[in-house]
Amino acid sequence: MLLSVVVVNWNSIDDLRRCLASLRVQTHRELELIVLDNGSEDGSADMVASEFPECVLLRETENLGFAEACNRGIARSHGEWVAMLNNDALAEPDWAKALVDAALAAPDGCGMLQSLLLYQSRDDVINSAGVELTRSGGGRDHKEGQPRTSALEAEEVFCSTAGAAAYRRTMLDTIRLSGGYFDRSHFMYFEDMDLGWRARLAGYSAEYVPGSVVHHRWHGSTERHGRSWLKAIANTNRVRTILKNASPGMILGTLPASLEGAFNVAKHGGLKGLLVLLRAIPQSFEARAEVERIRKIPRRDIEAKWRTSNG
C-alpha cells in the first residue's frame, strides 16, 4: 500500500533534517514523502531539495499555517491513506509499517489511525496516544504523562492528533468543507480535533496503533511564536471547534469556559485578538451548517460516549 506522508515546515531546518532522515530508513518502503515549506527563511527548502531529493517539495512564499499547509499537502498526495507527521518528530523504523498494517486491517468505518507520541527528552513518557474530548469542550492528549508501558494495547480513541497520524483518503474527501480538510481558519491548534470531531459526526472512528511510534520534541513552533500568541489562538480555535461540532446543550454548558477563554484572548491577544474571536463566531456557524449536511450521528450521542468526566 502506498502511504503518503505530509510534513509541514517553517524555519526548522535542524528538526526537519532529523525528521526526514528517520523517514528515509522506514521498513515500509512504499512511501510518498511530501514536504510543504511555509516560506522558511532559514534554508529549509533548499536543504530538502539537495539532501532529500526523494521528497516532493512544495515551496510556499508565506506562512500559510499548519492547517492550510496540510490541506495543500493532502491535495498533492496519492496514497489511499495520508499521514501527517510533525517536523519535530522522529519516526521509529517501523512507524509507517505499523500504520499500513493497521490500515489494511481496518474496517471501512475506521478513518483515523493514531501513532504513539513519546517525548524526545523522556522517551519512556507518553506525549499523546490520541485526543480526548473534555467536559469543557477542549482537547486533551490521551495518556499524556503516563509511562510508555500503559499504552501497549490497541484501542479506539476519540480522534487523532495530527502530530503523527494517518487519515483514510475517502474519509477526508467525504468530510471536507469549504475551509478545507483541516479548517484553514484555525491556522494551527485545534485543527486536528475539529477534523476528528467532524469525522465522528460523519460516522467514522479512530484507532490507536501502539506499534507506530514517534519521538516528539513538542511545542517547537510555540517557542518561535511565543506563549501569548499560543494562548490567544488556542482559545479562539476552541470556540470555533465547539460552535461547529457540539450540540446546543454542550455549547450552552461550556459557555463559562468560553467566556474565560475570551478573557484570555483579550489578555494575551489584545484588541486584535478579540476582533479575530468575534469574527470567528459567525464564521463557525456558517461552517456548522456544512457539518450538518455530512452528519450521520447525533451530536449528543458523540458527546455522551466521548466526553471525559473532567477537564
Give the residue from 222, 239, 261 where a domain finishes: 222
pLDDT of residue 177: 97
CB contact at 8 A, 156 and 206: yes
Least confident of 9-13, 223-227, 247-251: 223-227
Best CA proximity match to 112, nearest among 40, 13, 197, 190? 197
pLDDT of residue 225: 61
| Rounded distance between C-alpha atoms, residue 247 and residue 243, angstroms | 8
162, 96, 76, 128 alpha-carbon torsion, rounded to 10°:
0
pLDDT of residue 221: 55
pLDDT of residue 220: 58
Same domain, 25 and 67: yes
pLDDT of residue 281: 94
Take residue 154 and report the three cell numbers written for it: 490497541
Whether residue 46 lies inside any domain: the answer is yes
pLDDT of residue 210: 98
Same domain, 32 and 66: yes
Helix-helix angle 66-76:191-201, to 10 degrees = 60
Whether residue 310 lies inside any domain: the answer is no
Best CA proximity match to 15, nearest among 172, 210, 199, 220? 220
Strand, helix or coil at 27? coil
Same domain, 15 and 90: yes
Whether residue 308 lies inside any domain: the answer is no
Same domain, 240 and 211: no
Check pLDDT > 60 for residue 191.
yes
pLDDT of residue 140: 94
Whether residue 311 lies inside any domain: the answer is no
The model's pLDDT over 195-237, given as tens digits with 9 standing for 90+, comes to 999 999 999 999 999 999 999 997 655 556 667 778 888 999 9
Q: What is the mean pLDDT of residues 234-242?
A: 94
Check pLDDT > 80 for residue 51.
yes
Provide the CATH number for the domain around residue 72. Answer: 3.90.550.10
pLDDT of residue 231: 86
Q: What is the mean pLDDT of residues 126-132?
A: 98
Whether residue 309 lies inside any domain: the answer is no
pLDDT of residue 278: 92
The model's pLDDT over 52-96, given as tens digits with 9 standing for 90+, comes to 999 999 999 999 999 999 999 999 999 999 999 999 999 999 999
pLDDT of residue 12: 94
pLDDT of residue 297: 98
Same domain, 169 and 248: no
Same domain, 64 and 175: yes
Same domain, 70 and 192: yes
Give the residue from 187, 204, 222 where a domain finishes: 222
Same domain, 163 and 231: no
Whether residue 247 lies inside any domain: the answer is yes
* Percentage of residues in the chain having pLDDT higher than 70: 97
DSSP string, 156-186: EESB--TTEEEEEHHHHHHH-BTTBTTTGGG
Whether residue 73 lies inside any domain: the answer is yes
pLDDT of residue 311: 67
Give the residue from 222, 244, 278 where a domain finishes: 222
The model's pLDDT over 134-188, given as tens digits with 9 standing for 90+, comes to 999 999 999 999 999 999 999 999 999 999 999 999 999 999 999 999 999 999 8
Domain count, the chain: 2
263 vs 13, which has greater pLDDT? 13
CB contact at 8 A, 252 and 240: no
Q: What is the radius of gyration, based on Cα positions, of the chain?
A: 18
Same domain, 28 and 137: yes
Check pLDDT > 60 for residue 301.
yes
Same domain, 201 and 297: no
Whether residue 289 lies inside any domain: the answer is yes
Domain that holds residue 231: 226-303
Give the distance, in angstroms, between the CA of residue 115 and the centroid of all CA atoms in the same chain: 12
Check pLDDT > 70 for residue 240.
yes
Same domain, 86 and 30: yes
Strand, helix or coil at 96? helix
Best CA proximity match to 201, nearest among 165, 235, 170, 247? 247
Same domain, 190 and 55: yes
DSSP string, 63-87: ---HHHHHHHHHHH---SEEEEE-T
Question: Cell 509511562 identifies what position?
Answer: 147
The model's pLDDT over 101-124, given as tens digits with 9 standing for 90+, comes to 999 999 999 999 999 999 999 989
